[in-house]
Structure 1
Amino acid sequence: MLFYQSDSQLRLVSRHRDRLAQAFRFVLAEPLLVESLLDKAKFQDLAERMKLPVPAARRICPTGNDPEEIGLNFPIIVKPVQHAERDMVAWKLIASSHKALLVETPETLRVLWPHFVAANLDLLFQEAILGPENRIESYHVYLDQTGAIVAEFTGRKIRTLPVTCGLSTAVETTDAADVREIGRDIVQKLDLRGVAKLDFKRCLKGNLYLLEINPRFNLWHHLGAVAGVNLPGLVYADLTGLPRPVGRVARAGVRWVAPWADMRAAQESGIPITTWLWWLLHCEAKAGIAWDDPMPIVKKVLARIPRSRGALAQNEPYATS
């Protein structure tokens, strides 16, 4: 049985699916669709052809191009087209731990441009949807081999680290009918199979814009299982011929947290530590913490005491990883 949790794992399984299928069971979207969803520029082209609600964007290699000619309205978001290891090493030299960079003005873009050229990356420049990160909402789904929706749930980000364009450190399930409706429409248009996470951002007027689609397993599935919808469990049941688990409706308001990273995110958001600790204690799903098996977290705390505060969250899992 194969459960792929990163872009690199997804790419490996998809590109070698015929050979792997001789020894493993797994469920995947079609090869061309997987390649399009893994490449942000290809995804933008696909979304525009399918008339999906994506922000305007352009793929640009900064080398040999002029920042004055991107043809987009500011502010904009800049992010690497692919998450290949080499690309991400170069990207982190520019953006540190930010998944993307928010560029407010053409003047700021001109300052950043030489760094983009030096990185020698293909980049996606996208018109920004204004609003904080907690306006990013998501649709999570498993579609079986016939294309039928087996189970689904919706969620939203609570906090990220860094606060802008960061990775999720705290998330929660929701009961957003419009997110569910548009998510269903998109996966059916794409004829998707397997699991997927669709990220949207709700603009200040309330409209939903599609940011990306990740057709793989991820840490949101921990939260979904705690809330009542175990998408990996349903996949496992289908692949092994077992009965599907009953009760496939997720409770809204169930929360997941990556404690070390979220402590820093809360501090950066101005939340008092006592307020955050009370919230943490009542959070239903915690990455790396189980009160009935406390020794791993005790050992983790003791091992990290000598490290700098900046290293505490270095290896902690995030909801979108």
Structure 2
Amino acid sequence: MPSGVPFDLDREVPGLIVKFGDYPLHHGGVGAIRSLGRLGVPMYAITEDRYTPAAASRHLRQAFVWPTTGTERPERLVEGLLRVGRRIGRPTVLIPTDEEAAVLIAEHQAELADRFLFPGVDAGLPRRLASKQGLHELCLEHGIPSPESACPESYEEIEDFAAKAAFPLVAKNCEAFVRRSRPAVSGTTRIATRDGLLALARGWGEHPGVILQEYLPREDAEDWIVHAYFDADSTPLAMFTGVKVRSWPPHAGMTANAYVVDNPELADIAARFIKQIGFSGVVDLDLRFDRRDGRYKLLDFNPRMGAQFRLFESESGIDVVRAMHLDLTGRTVPEGEQLAGRRYIVENIDLPALLAYRRSGYTTPHAPAHASGTELAWLAADDLRPFFTMLARFVRPGVKHMYQLWRTNRRSARATAG
């Protein structure tokens, strides 16, 4: 056991990073490989090719090259996972990095159980949680605050909604999975006027597939995150809270910069909700504190490991991935308070996010007076190759992609402004 770590993982049980779709620059998978690999757990990963940052990690025992889109038939994906399991040759903890993987595992537990270890959960729950509409319905059922929302099923219903709605508002795809096929909107889209909404809606087809939500103004809101692991009884064995400082694309995308802030009220809200719905496993929640009414409103529920999970670690050396591995292998998860003042930075997206946030004049409260440490998503002294692999793959196409995102957001802003 490495010095300073007050627990002993079962090194006979490997971990497998499960990801579907083409997104090779995923720092969360690299973080999980390092988190368990540094403690001697054999780590494996499904990768798009042999030259991804995850495949380059010195803590990875083997990369299984398996290009997917995330839209394959479930039977094909299950068979592919079983094939990987046979090559590993022993029971393995599954670590999904996207909703497609989390939902597939939940809906095919019987077929996968002989080869893999994963939290048992109601088969339909992860799909419902990953859906914006499903999550909103669950919030209403259990009295959890969330933004006012509507899910129109036709253009006519959108017209009726627009006649009574307060603007601005935001539009999101109802289902997480449509980003792999034909999304109606690109991520979270702010719509300023009735005319802007109707103009966009004309391109959404017969079945819009969007959820329209109230807009929570940045100047009156704070972005919070909760990462946790819940056991088979929906009891939290690891619970962490923090503030999202910046994201990319700005205010609507992946976390680029965040820090740890203790928030017992928020942790209690999350724990009660997850107990009510009976979820088991790792969660990554996004909530927005609305200063106008003093309530935390649940925006997103990711039923899997979040990419920025390494922001959080307890005094006992526990993060959510370590907690899951310990629990699924029958070992005790040691208690411990979260390490305060930690920061997390995703190097390749935080600089453009910083520039965008400075232009908007947005500031985040609750910054720790003294940072106790900074966790970088890519750069690690004991594992340099993922960082340089990321740079090689990111610099040219990455800058082009960010420019395209910027132009898309500019065009969207002009269109939605009417």
Q: TM-score over 0.5 for the alignment?
A: yes
Identify which of 239, 246, 259 aligns with 1:152.
239
Aligned to 1:290: 380
Identify which of 143, 168, 183 aligns with 1:75.
168
Deviation at 1:282, TM superposition (A): 9.2
Counterparts of residues 237-248 of structure 1 (less than 5 Å): 237-244=326-333, 246-248=334-336
Deviation at 1:250, TM superposition (A): 0.9
CA distance in 2, matches of 1:241, 1:180: 25
DSSP-derived class of the 2:183 partner = helix
- Is the Cα–Cα contact under 8 Å of residues 195 and 231 in structure 1 kept in the other structure? yes
DSSP-derived class of the 1:29 partner = coil
Of 153-162 and 33-42, deviating more is 33-42
Q: Does 1:269 align with 2:344?
A: no
Deviation at 1:295, TM superposition (A): 4.4
Q: Does 1:84 align with 2:177?
A: yes
- For 1:112, the aligned partner's letter is L
Of 252-261 and 27-36, deviating more is 27-36
Deviation at 1:106, TM superposition (A): 1.5
Identify which of 287, 294, 308 aligns with 1:220.
308
Change in Cα spacing, 1:211 to 1:141, as seen in structure 2 (3 Å) is same
- For 2:152, the aligned partner's letter is I
Change in Cα spacing, 1:134 to 1:89, as seen in structure 2 (3 Å) is farther
* CA deviation vs aligned residue, 1:108-152 (integer Å, no higher than 9, x gap): 21232223338x541001112222698111222211112322120
DSSP-derived class of the 1:115 partner = coil
- For 2:109, the aligned partner's letter is R
Identify which of 265, 280, 285 aligns with 1:193.
280
Aligned to 1:131: 218
TM-score by length of 2: 0.64
Q: Does 1:163 align with 2:250?
A: yes
Identify which of 100, 105, 110 aligns with 1:13.
105
CA distance in 2, matches of 1:152, 1:169: 21
Q: Percent of counterpart pairs with the same letter?
A: 20
* CA deviation vs aligned residue, 1:166-188 (integer Å, no higher than 9, x gap): 22211221101221121122112
Change in Cα spacing, 1:67 to 1:166, as seen in structure 2 (3 Å) is farther
CA distance in 1, matches of 2:152, 2:403: 32
Of 235-244 and 147-156, deviating more is 235-244
* CA deviation vs aligned residue, 1:201-254 (integer Å, no higher than 9, x gap): 01133321111222211223222238743111111112112343x353212221
Deviation at 1:255, TM superposition (A): 1.2
Aligned to 2:265: 178
Aligned to 1:235: 324
| Structure 2: gaps spanning 5 or more residues | 1-92, 360-370, 405-418
When Rg is computed on C-alpha atoms for both structures, the one with the higher figure is 2
DSSP-derived class of the 2:225 partner = strand
CA distance in 2, matches of 1:14, 1:137: 27
- Is the Cα–Cα contact under 8 Å of residues 130 and 204 in structure 1 kept in the other structure? no
Q: Does 1:259 align with 2:259?
A: no
Aligned to 2:117: 25
DSSP-derived class of the 1:116 partner = coil
Aligned-residue Cα RMSD (Å) equals 2.8
Q: Tell me the matched-pair count.
A: 298
Deviation at 1:16, TM superposition (A): 0.6
- Is the Cα–Cα contact under 8 Å of residues 29 and 193 in structure 1 kept in the other structure? yes
Q: Does 1:208 align with 2:208?
A: no
DSSP-derived class of the 1:84 partner = helix
Stretches of 4+ moved more than 6 A in 1? none
